[in-house]
Amino acid sequence: MVTPLARAGVAVGADGLMVEVHNHPELALSDGAQALTLPAYAQLIREVRALREVATPTVSESPTQDQAA
């Protein structure tokens, strides 16, 4: 559930994510069910970076005086 919600958040403009990562989630003292493994986290980061590039418009430069006239 963590990965789809994180992707959805970035797709609608979230500026940050809070994600629990654990090298052995099944051994975590708490929240192991929602913790990502290190490889799953690395994959999530690749995915949300790609989404952000597509979903976030870039700021265009201001027109120069020549272009504005």
**Residue-by-residue DSSP string for 1-69:** -HHHHHHHHHHTT-S-----B-SSGGG-SS-GGGPBPHHHHHHHHHHHHHHHHHHSPPPPPPPPHHHH-
Confidence of residue 40 (pLDDT cuts 50, 70, 90): very high
Name the pTM for this structure: 0.73
Q: Give the pLDDT score at 55.
A: 79
